[in-house]
Each structure stands twice: as C-alpha cells, then as structure tokens.
Structure 1
Amino acid sequence: MLPSFRLKLQFYGEGRLPVTYREGLQAALYRLLPSPLGERLHDGGLLEGSRPLKLFVFSRLLGLAYVHEEKAFQVAGDVVLYFASALPEVLEGLVQGVWRKGGLTVHGLELELRGLEQVPLPATQEALEVEALAPITVYRTLEGSTQYYNPWNREFGPLVSENLNRKARALGLEEGRVSLRPLRVRPGHKRLERYKGTWVEGWMGRYRLEGPASLLRLGLLTGLGAKNSQGFGFVKEVLP
C-alpha cells in the first residue's frame, strides 16, 4: 500500500550554499537513512528492467536567496524541504534519521531541524492541478545523445505517463494513461542545473494531470519525469 503522506521538514541555518547544492542535499538525505537501506537505495534501488528505481523525490530548499555576485545561495533563517517516497520504510527511516541527528549537513553548512510535519495526500481523484517545487525533467537518450523536451512538446506528457507506469509495474500497481497539460508555464520557468558535472534541463510551473487516481498519487510520492532521486520532479497539489 502506498503511503498516505509526504514530509515537510523545516530547518534553520545561516551561511552560503553553492548553486549545485542539490548533490550535497541528496548525499545528506542518504546519510540519514539506516543501514543497509541507505546503501541499497544509493547503489541500486528497487529494480524494474535494466534501470534502477529509487522511488523517492525531494524538493528544492525553499527560502533561499540567490546572491548573484557570488553565484551562490544565502541561507538566512528558516528553509523548508519536502520529501516523499512510495516506500514506507524510506519515509520511516528518514524521520528517524533526521530526529536522531537533529538536522542536515549540506556542503558543510549545518541545517538545524526546527519542525517535521506529515502532509497528507489529497483525497482520491482523477484530476489534479500541481505546482513544481523542483524542475521536471523529461528526455530521451537516442544514439548516445540526450534530447530534452519542454512542456509544449508532444513527447513531454507521454514520457511522464510512461515513467509513472514504469514505477507502477515495479510496485505491482495497475497501469494506465496519465495526461499532462501545462497551465501556467512560461519560457522563464526553464531551469538548467548542473548535477555531477552534467547539465540537466527541467521546468518549473503549474500543470494539470488527469488519469487513474493511483497513478496521480504515485506522481505525488515519487515525482514526475526523470531523475527524481536527484531532486527533480517534486510536485505539490494546488488547493482550490
């Protein structure tokens, strides 16, 4: 059975983070998980076919201020992180780990835990409006070359649906078709972010999803698009 909630973690810190802080944040989250769960997820995850599935996703750190002159982010007080997973043991392990350590250390910056909240998933429904809290990245690899797609490209929605069905197969859930339509997305929502030396293209903005309720819930728990365990594709429902 899928979890019925995501985590909202509030931290306090003061200092700077590099624009590539996502790598350090991912590493810090792995360190919170108990052994051998953390190692299993890091090294392989839940396998379906030839590509690993880790089935968790996290948002950007919300509340940062960009310092243009330094090309870095300033942390000056409270910041918020959302975390979700389709695996109950991952959620439980993260909660235990963050309480035990009292926070996170990201690129040497101490983030002190100030609050932890379970955010319930919305009631079962077959249509959702969502806001991206981390860029949604959608691509194909063709003959060794990576082709990224934007939300207006006809490949974008079907690839999001295909990704959700791949996750559903790994979990033994029923498959189906999910449609995605950009609602409030403009060219300025494009993000190019560097992850371990590679540039990744993703898109923020607001979208409408329609499809089986179980797949929409899976999208809220594991993210939309690719590279979710690297911090891409976290979406949160927009309440009416």
Structure 2
Amino acid sequence: MTAAGRLPCRYVIHAATMAMDFVTGEESIRLAARNALKRVREQGMESVAFPALGCGVGGFPAERAARIMAEETAAFLCEGVPGLREVRFVLFDAPTFWTFEKVVGEHLGYIQRKLGRYPIPTVDAVIETAGGIVLIERKNPPYGWALPGGFVDWGESLEAAVRREAMEETGLELEELRQFHTYSEPGRDPRFHTITTVFSARGRGEPVARDDAAGIAIFPPDRLPEKMAFDHRRILRDYLEAKFNPSSTMAK
C-alpha cells in the first residue's frame, strides 16, 4: 500500500493477482481481495474502490472474478467494520459492468435471504497456555475481550475454521483440539443469529494480536476480564466447570 499521489484518494492498495508463472487463478484473486480488505480495516478507511481483479492482462473470466470478489466482500462486511460506508466496484467496460452487476447483485440477494432466515455457523476456541486462557480484545463491535474465533468459510470444516481463526487472530497453532459444546441462543450475538461450536485446545507458539484483534492477553481462570463480548463469559464458566468438576452436566 502506498500514498495516492495526485489521485483523488488517500491510498493505493497494490493487489497482485498474477503469480510468478504469469498465471492468474481463483486463489490469487481471493487472497488479493481478502488482503486488500484487511488493509481497509487497518487504516480505518471510509470507502474503497475495486477494479475487476485479474480480468485485465491476467485474462481471468469476469463472471468468476465477480463471484469471488462478492463472496470476500460480503464475508468482510459481515464481520462489522466501523466507519466503512462504501465498497465500490469500478469496471472498465460495459460488458464487465453488466457481469458484475448481475453476479454481485445475485450474491448479495442470497446473503440477505440467508441472514434473514438462517443462523450463521461460527467457531470459537478456548486456548490454554501455561499462564491461563488466551483472549483477544476485539477491534470491531461488539467490543470487549473474547475467545478467538469467527465465521466458517464456504467449503471449510469446523476444525479447519477454528485452526485458521486462531492463527489469524493470535498467531498460535492449536494442539489437542477437542470439540467442547455448541451455543445457539438467538440473542448471543447482537449483530445476527449465529450458532457457534466451541473447541478447546493447547496453544503452541507466541501469542500475538493479529487481524481483528486490537490486543491479546493470557488470563488466569479466576481473573477473567470484566468486559467480555457475546456470551463468552458463560462459555468460559461452562468450560471451567466441566474441566474442574467432571461430574457436572457440561462435562458429560
């Protein structure tokens, strides 16, 4: 990312979609869009404009590029981005414009229908280290301390999702991963109805606040922070009860 010079914007995010072998593929476009959106969050931008990634010299089909970019943008916006007012697609010619309008419109309509009717699957991780339980301080609303976790991507298992989220937010690899419990109370997430599957694990590595985490800390089980997001205080209470009281309902 660089300054924009004389352009009527603040920054230029350089999103490379062509690999060293001069081939543009779906994964490179997806990563370029995802990483560009991360820069948007980090810099607190109010708006961002995308071209049709990979569709110029790269020769990637516009319809497939539109689908990938719509998926990444929708997933990004679902996480909640304070201050961001607009994501715009700026297209070079009429055929590409009509293609993006159709594909992006269809995908956003699909997301709206899903959000309106169906719960969204998420994962959270109770990560233990020698000093206690790893929690992140959320960068985006709802604010507070929380378990590392997030949304399950399309085509991803719950186990793969929780490992990815833990690495993205804490830099830790998960060992001894076990599924603990599922929480589905409709009001547990103030944004929309989510169903989270909670895993327990040991963390390997040095915890570092990354991605959506404004901060990170290790808390002893008897000194958890006062302000916690979602229903994570209840989750930790249930987890600790199951761990230290094997005869409890949560342990069964």
**Fold match by TM threshold 0.5:** no
Q: Which has the higher strand share?
A: 1
More relative contact order, 1 or 2 (CA 8 Å, 6+ apart): 1
Q: Which one has the largest radius of gyration? A: 2
Give the TM-score, by structure 2 length.
0.30
Q: Which has the higher helix share?
A: 2
Give the TM-score, by structure 1 length.
0.31
